[in-house]
Structure 1
Amino acid sequence: MNIGIIGTGGIATSAHIPQYIAAGANVVAVMNRTRERGEAAARQFGIERVYGTVEAMLENETLDAVSVCTPNALHKEQVIAALAAGCHVLCEKPPAISAREAMEMLEAAKAANRTLHYGFHYRHRSDTQLLKRMIEAGELGHLYAATALALRRRGIPGWGVFTDKELQGGGALLDHGVHMLDLALYLMGYPKPVDVIGHIGQYLGTRPGVGLMGTWDPDTFSVEDTARAMVKFENGASLLFDGSFMANVGPRDTMRVELRGTEGGATLFPLHVHTEAYGALFDQTPAHLEHVDPYAVQIQTFLDACQREPEFEQGEQAVILHTITDRIYGEA
């Protein structure tokens, strides 16, 4: 397969490009609006052609698929353009910045009859997949409650455009919060939300402070540093979400999903399963799990999907995800 890369930032050069190459795909072209960065990535990986616009790359290359690795606000336009050019698309998270955009991307994928995947790599961890198999086998029963935590003590990224609302669409929620929100929804079977109570705020990001992920400029900090919500679903389940770029908490970084079911409960990460049997309570942990690179599995899963009938499930899930994020932001 011939692959094009849209955006040559850190996620492209650390995950997408090397994993495509490792999987045997041909990365034939990269695009970056800053020519020097595109050329640097091309030199690093021996890629022949560099473009300054998406349109030029799609017009001059014969591509089977593309990865979109650009700031969030650019995803919709670039994904739709690639789909219209006949490419399958793997777009980095978050899918979009609104449910309306996610729906437009889904409709474009269906119109082009091309697979659309999103870069939620936590789904592809071995512990996540083990828990997913247990849930599908009925080990936890009906999942009626979940908690998704994405908390950093002082973790505003000091690089890129993560603090720019115009390009990112949001901060703690759309950056790393969507990882755990998506993961909880994925494990729950992506139930339909019927009510969302949400709150966002700027509490620490607009003033100077210690940065554990680099230095940010508080004067240009325009996204939320805190997002919290409760979601009620059509099937009677509920979910609590708590996300922050920077919070006065103990751990430096907490990424965790907790699930409660009628037959058992579970926590990721690490994986613990809590059950009752034979008149006793059990806490279970796997004695061994094969280590996998979730980015490698994500890329291979996408490449495999491109060889089958087009898949739209992740596009449909993205609409549900952003229906929730819209409500948290108070935009719906």
Structure 2
Amino acid sequence: MRVTVLAGGVGGARFVRGLRAALGDADDHEITVVVNTGDDLWLSGVRLQPDVDSILYALAGVNDTERGWGRAGESERVSAELREWGAGWPWFTLGDLDLGTHLARTGWLREGLTYTQVAERLASRWPIGVRLLPMTDAEVDTYVVVEDGSRLHFQEWWTRHRAALRALEFQNPGVAQAVPAPGVTDAIETADVVLVAPSNPVVSIGPILAVPGIRDALARARRVVGISPIIGGRVVRGMADACLSAIGVETSAAAVARHYGRRADGGLLDMWLVAEEDAGLAPDLAADGWDVRVTPLWMTDLERSAALARAATAE
């Protein structure tokens, strides 16, 4: 089975780990993950790709499961020294091991490698069992326009302000001129199923869909299945509700489904998975023509993540 996943963030990382476990190591399975790069940024002269690294570290088994980001067993001497110099963002801590990744990436970019080539080189360090593709080789960082009219990099709004400043708009400058990274559209069009991971619909999945050509590829895909990032009317992690409110979408599994839309109506999805806690929403969605399935969505351990992945890939 060929499976392509659109993903970003911790939710995407957990889901992809479960998918790998569900499919096993059989030679007849192939997993490609198209990763959001809208969270990327330049900081202290190095290029950070938070979603790429979160998924890479999780699949390699070297992620910090307690914090939910970065490497396990980190030290933070370099970040402390940067603060002493007044460099970088004092509220954005980079672990020393994580910084090694960013330095390697930046050096390879300076040598002329593309983001796709860098992702391949990083992934070759560990037997992660999937192909990681950035959504594009262009830089299309996410910016947030807040209530006073100022524009902040997404990481400042998310990490420093914890999404407390009311967002009016999310922007990805340059995305209209971007193209999908090599292999992305082919991975979508040739997959037996494309899975939209339970990642933030606005700032993780949204930038992927904004790259010209990706929605067209999804329209040609064999089958597209989405997994709700909302359980019982609440976000699973982070402040996705603040993102949804900014684009006028209610924090509910049904509202996110309608935000993505049915492929039969010109949207994205053929099937939508909702949590048992949201089973009451299924009849109304079904009445509107949705193929909606109710299944446990909490990914509290690898076994449950794998069970969710099996439900998402089942016919």
TM-score bracket, normalised by the shorter chain, equals: 0.3 to 0.5
In terms of fraction of residues, the more strand-rich structure is 1
When Rg is computed on C-alpha atoms for both structures, the one with the higher figure is 1
